[in-house]
Structures are given as C-alpha cells and as structure tokens.
Structure 1
Amino acid sequence: MKTAHDLVTDAKAQIHEISPEEAVNSIQQADLLLDVREASEYQTGHIPTAINIPRGLLEFKLESTPELSNRALKIVLYCKTSGRAALSALTLKHMGYQQVQSIAGGFDAWIAAGKPQSGPDFPHFE
C-alpha cells in the first residue's frame, strides 16, 4: 500500500519540476499560472498573476472552462511545498496537457528565494 509521500515521489518522477529562479522566466512565457492550494491559502498570499483552482476541483474546472481546455497551454503550477502541485501536474499530464511545469518547493520556496507575492487579500466591507 502506498503512502501520500510515495504518491508524491512517484508523481515527481514523472513531471517537470523547476526551481523558483527558473519559474520567473517560465511564468513570463506561460499561458496560465495556477495555484492549486485551497482558497483560504491563496488569500493569505500568492504569486502575482496566479489564478486559484484548488487541487480537488482542478479536473472539473479545466474541463468546464473552454479557455482552459486547450491541451497545448503552457502551465506553471504550485502549492505550498510542491506535493499537491506534483500530483496536479501528473493529473494534467494524464489529461493530455503537454507543457506543464511545477515549482519545486512550492510557494514556500518562492518566498524563501525572495520572489514577489500578492496579497493577502482582505475582505471588503462596504
């Protein structure tokens, strides 16, 4: 029986991970920067220009959103530390997406490398 760690390790062996430094250029060339963390995590801070689709909704959102259904999209994705992103990247690969990259170490590594972030997003009270 495999553990969650085993599944992530297996996924990482089948996907393309990039460092936060490499991600800067990849993000500029990407069609989509995808944050697969939960909405509450995204709201506390995220990489600028990222859209949030939590991992649990990923397949359904991509399939039901016509502008995201093109399997040739250049996609960079991340989560907090890279486990969910690795599993998501493998799922996208299985769905036929051809140009998917995952940021090694996730948002934590991005911040540790001194890269910019947006947020947190505070609610508006009017």
Structure 2
Amino acid sequence: MSTYITASELVGEARARIREVAPSAFAADRGDEVLIDVREPAEFETGHIPGAINIPRGVLEFQVDAHPAVANVSDPALSHKQRPVVVVCRTGGRAALSAVNLQRLGFADVRSIAGGVVAWSEAGLPLVVR
C-alpha cells in the first residue's frame, strides 16, 4: 500500500487546517490585512484583486518577511507576524498550501480566499488588469 497522496488530497488537508473566507465577505469587510497573491507574475498581470501584492508561491517563505507590506516597516514596534494576512491564488489550492506554511512560520492570523481569483471574478468583484 502506498503512503503517497495526490495534490488534491494535499490541498484538502491544507484546507482543513486553515480559515477560508468567501470573496464577497472579504470584499465587504476589508481591513488592514495584507493581501498576498501567490500566483506567478504573468498570472498576476492578467487580473488581480485591488491592493494585492504579488509574492509567488515558489518564493513566498523566503520573501514574506522582507516585504514592506508584511514587515510593517512603518512601525517597527509592531510584530509583523501579528498583522492579518490573506492569501489568494487562481482557484484556492496554492493559497491553502501557502496559508498553512505562513501559519507554520508563526503568522497568527492567516486566511485564504475560497475559490481564489476565479471565484472573486465570478462574484462580480473588481480586478486590476495591467
């Protein structure tokens, strides 16, 4: 019997360990959270949620601490790991995996947008296209 799992099962396990928020709920209740889009730059350019910063999933764990939006450089007295973080990707899988890793890195308030940018767009919410 194999001990391997599929990518879909891996994402399912991640979703069980994180908090997901519906696109409409996130849009209605935006605060000071950092919104990180973990898609590749070319995907990000095709349309992203207003205010999102692009840190691709492949480098997220290495770059998240250095990004000014997350590091809270305007107020060094505040711990950046306490700042709310919301993660998004195309359909939610990469965001779920990213959210788990951000939690493991010590971020206290991490959420993922359920259904990703696809669900955001289907809900009629605005996208920024460059």
Q: By how many angstroms is 1:47 displaced?
A: 0.4
Q: 1:33 aligns with which of 27, 32, 35?
A: 35
Q: 1:23 aligns with which of 23, 26, 35?
A: 26
Q: By how many angstroms is 1:3 displaced?
A: 1.0
1:124 is matched with none
2:125 is matched with 115
SS at match of 2:82: coil
1:73 is matched with 83
The alignment status of 1:44 with 2:46, answered yes or no, reads yes
Q: CA RMSD of the aligned region, Å?
A: 1.3
CA distance in 1, matches of 2:42, 2:68: 26
> If the length of structure 2 is used for normalisation, what is the TM-score?
0.86
Q: By how many angstroms is 1:42 displaced?
A: 0.2
1:53 is matched with 55
Contact 1:31–1:75 (CA under 8 A) maintained in structure 2: yes
Residue by residue, what CA displacement relative to the aligned partner does 1:56-97 show, whole Å, maximum 9, x if unpaired? 010110133465241101111100000000000000010010
Contact 1:30–1:76 (CA under 8 A) maintained in structure 2: no
How do residues 100-111 of structure 1 correspond to structure 2 at under 5 angstroms? 100-111=110-121
Equivalent residues, number:
119
Aligned-residue sequence identity (percent) comes to 45
CA distance in 1, matches of 2:26, 2:39: 18
2:15 is matched with 12
> Which sections of structure 1, spanning at least 5 residues, go unmatched?
122-126
CA distance in 2, matches of 1:42, 1:58: 15
SS at match of 1:89: helix
Q: What is the one-letter code of the residue matched to 1:6? A: E
